[in-house]
Amino acid sequence: MFEKQDLLDIARVPMPFGKYAGRALIDLPEEYLLWFKKKEFPAGRLGYLMALTLEIKIEGLEGLIRPLKMKDKTDRGR
């Protein structure tokens, strides 16, 4: 089971390395996440969040995450 903070992190945490460095996890292409699943997600929290992001994308639930991303921008006064 996941926590509310997990969903917030998926919307706001940037990918720290690789081809999509700097993109929020929710913005990573599904194919990229599937590649990681095949090879192995990174260890720790990042890997957990990437796996959860993939599940959200597979289930078509990205719409739940997008508003969290927009709220983040509002909160920062952008």
The per-residue pLDDT for 57 is 97
d(CA 7, CA 26): 9
The per-residue pLDDT for 76 is 47
What is the four-CA torsion angle of 74, 19, 8, 11, rounded to 10 degrees? 50
Domain ranges (residues) in the chain = 4-75
- Please tell me the number of Cα atoms within 13 Å of 14 on its side-chain side: 8
The per-residue pLDDT for 74 is 43
The per-residue pLDDT for 71 is 57
Mean pLDDT over 53-66 rounds to 94
**pLDDT tens for each residue of 33-46:** 999 999 999 999 99
